[in-house]
Structure 1
Amino acid sequence: MTLYTKLPTRRAALAGAGAGIGLFMIGRPALAQTTKLRFAHPHPEADSWHKAALIFADQIKAKSQGRFEVQVFPNGALGSDQQTIGAVRGGSLDICLTGNPFFTGLAPKLNVLDLPFLIQSRQHAAVVMDGPIGDGLRRELEGSNLKALATWEIGWRNLTNNRRPVASAADIKGLKIRTTPNPAHIKAFQLLGALPTPMAFTELFTALETGTVDGQENPVTLILNAKFFEVQKHLSLTRHAFTTGPVVMNKGKFDALPADIQELLVRSAVEIAGVQRQMNEDTEGSSLAALKKAGMQAVESPDRDSFAKIVTAEVEKEFVSKYGSETLEAIKKAAV
């Protein structure tokens, strides 16, 4: 018996070859086209935002089986806070992460999250941001062509400056403090007698170095990672506000994605929100120790009540007069 009993016809041979090529292509997913999503944020690579963004990128690539790949750009490499938000809205950038205060011009109700002394703990923040309250606030951004996947955190804001220790509210008078553009932040510092100066995070180190502003307010983790200790002498653990950070995507691009990828992006961003909060909580103590070792003089137990008595009621009153009390009261009731 011969090896081939019959030679195939030309048509059969071509059909067989076509089927073989089809099977070869199906069996080689590496040949499938990968969709790349660019993700920008303003924080340094040492910060929890960048570490969490890399985890997010790894998870999207793995769980989409390589169909989607997230490229992360830290350090404001693709623009300032406002520039990256604008780029995502316009579609030239896919995803960005920055502080909630920079979104309040588009969705003023989000200003509620930046009211002073409102968030009581990280557990409180998680209940608010990962539940129905957070869902409602994130939907506020959809009218600006933004899909908020989840809300991460910056953390507890603490005051630094180059002029004097701040142990009570009286000590802040006359200080020129960089703030976010958020109305609640600006109003609070005005009430305290400071000179609030809004600017992008990407401009802050130079402004501190040149003396354009006397100080700023951010969590100890970010003060360390951004190396503000090189240009600031005094640190006061005021914990006067808790700042969150929406992870947003261009809504048109999100809506055009397959349903499974939409679900993957949202689920992964929400899961990693908890991971990123824990990163900050785990490193707060060591960050403070490192700042003190670097030469910063820390007031670890300032008179927080002296700040709260001046700013809390007045800033809340202004918010309620514009947007009502429903969301504010819901956040207060969610405290655990």
Structure 2
Amino acid sequence: MTLNRRSFIAAAAAGAAGALLAAPSILGAAGKITLRMGHPHPETDSWQDTALWMGETLAEKSGGEIGLQVFPNGLLGNDPTMINSVRAGALDIMVTGNPFFTSLAPELNVLDLPYLFHDRDHVARVLDGEIGDRLRTDFEGTGLYALALWETGWRHVTNSRRPVETPDDIKGLKIRTTPNPAHIEAFRLLGAVPTPMAFTELFTALEMGAVDGQENPTTLILNSRFYEAQKYLSLTQHAFTAAPLVTNAAKLDAMDEDMRALLIETAQEGARRQRALNVEREVTSLAKLREEGMEVVETPDRKAFRAIVAEPVQASFGEEFGPELIEQINAAA
């Protein structure tokens, strides 16, 4: 029997769910702890590579006491499903884009404000410094503990209808966004039709024409094969998306102190490794997307995009949470 993309993923998800239920609990294991980690990105993505590195490192440094099972490609459900699974204790660890956590920890929305970050040095100073530490504490009371802040990366626009060089070119396009209010407001201001949906549903929506385009880093555009349904790529670099790596807070508290410290240390080292991988792959992924036939607008009018979205979206955040956090991030540049 031949399986198409959708049925293959459904079959794999069923098998993975069975494996998840059959695996020993972090709390119930005698001796060895088996952690189960899920994420929505493909197996070719830096999240998967870094998760496998984490598994190897945890096993080595714990003397085989900690094992890590990794379920990529949304095999355990879409982004909100996996978040809820970790909160409920049915899944131990997951990582996904920051926008999917902002309903639980609304101040995290600051990281997705358009044109907030100047460059990757700025990103690192924020995510790995006092601001990042503070934002991770916003998960307190949600049932989650943020082990580290990984990344999705710089976001760019793709679509199937026309090249996007100026804000006028994006008007009327139905663009899949994350559920983050900052993303939705930015594309509304640009005259697009923002359409939030889970990442695991995106390929089918593009393929079926339910949306005209989407916005993600080039690494993810390549790894998810979006070029099969998208002709035009515009390097708008309109936002940078972090990716909290979270675990169940109660289960983490129940771990042996040394193992808990090892898990947090490995997760945070993994964040630095994962971001370094993305820096390398941003270059190679763009070249490969061209090879796959995508037409690339390398220098869209970012100044014009910024003029429309940056100030009003940041002002909306400031009205709700105050200006201090944005000021601190700007100062970190």
TM-score by length of 1: 0.90
Give the alignment partner of residue 87 of structure 2, picking from 61, 86, 89: 89
Partner residue, 1:102: 100
Give distance in 2, aligned partners of 1:221 and 1:43: 11
Matched, 1:264 2:262: yes
Partner residue, 1:123: 121
Partner residue, 2:54: 56
Give distance in 1, aligned partners of 2:259 and 2:119: 32
Give the alignment partner of residue 156 of structure 2, picking from 158, 163, 166: 158
Q: What amino acid maps onto 1:241 in structure 2?
A: A
- Could you tell me which runs of 5 or more consecutive residues in structure 2 were left unpaired when the two chains were aligned: 1-29
Partner residue, 1:178: 176
Give distance in 1, aligned partners of 2:71 and 2:54: 13
Partner residue, 1:303: 301
Matched, 1:46 2:44: yes
Give distance in 1, aligned partners of 2:59 and 2:195: 40
The answer to whether the 8 A contact 1:43-1:74 is kept is: yes
Q: Counterpart of 2:237 in 1: which secondary structure?
A: coil
Give distance in 1, aligned partners of 2:35 and 2:281: 29
Partner residue, 2:67: 69
Which structure 2 residues correspond to residues 234-249 of structure 1 after superposition, within 5 A? 234-249=232-247
The answer to whether the 8 A contact 1:155-1:280 is kept is: yes
Deviates more, 1:120-129 or 1:143-152: 120-129
Give distance in 2, aligned partners of 1:59 and 1:174: 48
The answer to whether the 8 A contact 1:154-1:219 is kept is: yes
Superposed CA RMSD in Å reads 1.0
Q: Counterpart of 2:265 in 1: which secondary structure?
A: helix
Q: Counterpart of 2:149 in 1: which secondary structure?
A: strand
Cα offset, 1:166, TM superposition = 0.1
Runs of 4+, deviation exceeding 6 Å: none
Partner residue, 2:215: 217
Residues 131-156 of structure 1 deviation map (CA, whole Å, 9 limit, x = unaligned): 11001101101210100000000000
Give distance in 2, aligned partners of 1:110 and 1:98: 13
Q: Counterpart of 1:154 in 2: which secondary structure?
A: strand
Partner residue, 1:135: 133
Partner residue, 2:13: none
Q: Counterpart of 1:82 in 2: which secondary structure?
A: helix
Give distance in 2, aligned partners of 1:326 and 1:161: 36
Give distance in 2, aligned partners of 1:93 and 1:285: 34
Cα offset, 1:33, TM superposition = 3.3
Give the alignment partner of residue 277 of structure 1, picking from 275, 278, 285: 275
Q: What amino acid maps onto 1:270 in structure 2?
A: Q
Give distance in 1, aligned partners of 2:120 and 2:67: 31
Q: Counterpart of 1:239 in 2: which secondary structure?
A: strand
Cα offset, 1:83, TM superposition = 0.4
Residues 273-304 of structure 1 deviation map (CA, whole Å, 9 limit, x = unaligned): 11111111111111111001100001010000
Q: What amino acid maps onto 1:184 in structure 2?
A: A
Matched, 1:169 2:186: no
Q: Counterpart of 1:36 in 2: which secondary structure?
A: strand
Give distance in 2, aligned partners of 1:267 and 1:162: 42
Q: What amino acid maps onto 1:97 in structure 2?
A: V
Give distance in 2, aligned partners of 1:276 and 1:325: 30
Give distance in 1, aligned partners of 2:174 and 2:83: 27
Give distance in 2, aligned partners of 1:266 and 1:168: 43
The answer to whether the 8 A contact 1:122-1:277 is kept is: no
Give distance in 2, aligned partners of 1:98 and 1:239: 19
Give the alignment partner of residue 203 of structure 2, picking from 205, 211, 228: 205
The answer to whether the 8 A contact 1:97-1:248 is kept is: yes
- Larger-Rg structure: 1
Give distance in 2, aligned partners of 1:283 and 1:95: 25
Deviates more, 1:114-123 or 1:93-102: 114-123
Cα offset, 1:125, TM superposition = 1.0
Q: Counterpart of 2:238 in 1: which secondary structure?
A: coil
Give distance in 1, aligned partners of 2:322 and 2:203: 37
Q: Counterpart of 1:157 in 2: which secondary structure?
A: strand
Q: What amino acid maps onto 2:80 in structure 1?
A: Q
- Could you tell me which runs of 5 or more consecutive residues in structure 1 were left unpaired when the two chains were aligned: 1-31
Count of equivalent residues: 305
Partner residue, 2:31: 33
Residues 297-325 of structure 1 deviation map (CA, whole Å, 9 limit, x = unaligned): 01010000110000000000100000111
Give distance in 1, aligned partners of 2:262 and 2:124: 20
Partner residue, 1:22: none
Deviates more, 1:266-275 or 1:181-190: 266-275
